[in-house]
């Protein structure tokens, strides 16, 4: 049995970035854990009936509950490190003394203690740019690499061929009202890499279905549709059944 520890910035990131891999290993009988650095206090809320939660003290508790529901579906054990969402780049939330970006050494120490307790075989997190440049994602990459010591770390990436296929697939769908595909000429996120740099791939249709179900628990942050999902920016992205890593 392999023990894996996934390290993420906010509730929903575990499912968005690694839901297929988490479910794949849980279904295989491995011991899967997820460390979440913050409770996503700065998240934008999608459903109109829940919009009152945005910016409120209640949102953290709601997102903690959403995280618990998603992890139960995925088959993983959760650990919340207890720092605060720093917001997007330039957000005043980054000045909060509890913000993750202000507490990378403390978060590194907290993760190191968790690693000592769990003794995982492998860590999984974002690549150095945090997938798309979110300050908390970048901080999470840095603190994971610092806490890893000699442990192998899988950094989540997207092969260019998959990114092209997924963008083309979404462009062909009849999307729900209000949603739109990524612009055809939009630049790729930093997590999109040349195929030949990828060291590990997980492709699992069953785990992909589990991921889709888990994502519905993150109701404040994600709208889930048939084969695709959207965040608060209303850009539709493919709900795939494959994930890739560099180590």
Report the SS3 class of residue 137.
helix
With residue 23 as reference, give the H or E element that holds it. helix 13-27
Neighbours of 110 (CB within 10 A): 19
| pLDDT single digits (tens) 88-99 | 988 999 999 999
| pLDDT single digits (tens) 228-242 | 999 999 999 999 999
Contact 3, 121 (CB under 8 A): yes
Contact 70, 114 (CB under 8 A): no
Contact 65, 84 (CB under 8 A): no
Instruction: Judge: domain 3-246, CATH 3.40.50.10320.
Output: yes
| The token pair that represents 140 in the structure block | 């999470």
The residues spanned by each domain of the chain are: 3-246
| The token pair that represents 100 in the structure block | 């993750």
| The token pair that represents 194 in the structure block | 């040349």
Report the SS3 class of residue 160.
helix
Please identify every stretch of the chain with a pLDDT value under 70, giving residue numbers as ranges: none
Residues in the chain: 247
Using CA atoms, how far apart are residues 96 and 103, in angstroms rounded to an integer?
A: 10
The pLDDT of residue 79 is 99
What's the first-to-final CA gap in the chain, in angstroms?
A: 20
Using CA atoms, how far apart are residues 24 and 46, in angstroms rounded to an integer?
A: 29
The pLDDT of residue 89 is 87
The pLDDT of residue 184 is 86
> Exposure of 183 by Cβ count < 10 A (0-12 exposed, 13-18 middle, 19+ buried)?
exposed
Report the SS3 class of residue 197.
helix
The pLDDT of residue 129 is 97
């Amino acid at each position: 049995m392999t023990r894996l520890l996934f390290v993420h910035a906010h509730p929903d990131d575990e499912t968005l970035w690694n839901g297929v891999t988490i479910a794949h290993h849980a279904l295989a009988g491995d011991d899967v854990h997820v460390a979440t650095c913050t409770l996503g206090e700065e998240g934008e809320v999608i459903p109109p009936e829940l919009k009152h939660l945005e910016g409120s003290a209640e949102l953290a508790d709601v997102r903690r509950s959403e995280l618990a529901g998603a992890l139960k579906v995925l088959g993983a054990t959760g650990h919340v490190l207890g720092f605060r969402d720093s917001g997007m780049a330039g957000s005043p939330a980054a000045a909060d003394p509890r913000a993750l970006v202000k507490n990378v050494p403390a978060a590194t120490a907290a993760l190191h203690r968790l690693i000592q307790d769990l003794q995982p075989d492998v860590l999984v997190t974002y690549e150095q740019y945090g997938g798309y440049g979110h300050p908390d994602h970048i901080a999470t990459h840095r603190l994971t690499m610092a806490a890893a010591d000699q442990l192998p770390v899988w950094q989540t990436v997207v092969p260019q061929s998959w990114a092209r296929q997924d963008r083309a697939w979404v462009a062909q769908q009849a999307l729900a009202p209000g949603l739109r595909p990524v612009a055809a000429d939009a630049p790729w996120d930093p997590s999109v890499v040349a195929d030949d740099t990828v060291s590990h791939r997980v492709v699992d249709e069953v785990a992909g279905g589990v991921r889709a179900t888990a994502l519905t628990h993150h109701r404040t942050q994600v709208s889930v549709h048939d084969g695709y999902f959207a965040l608060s920016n209303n850009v539709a992205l493919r709900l795939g059944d494959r994930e890739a890593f560099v180590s």
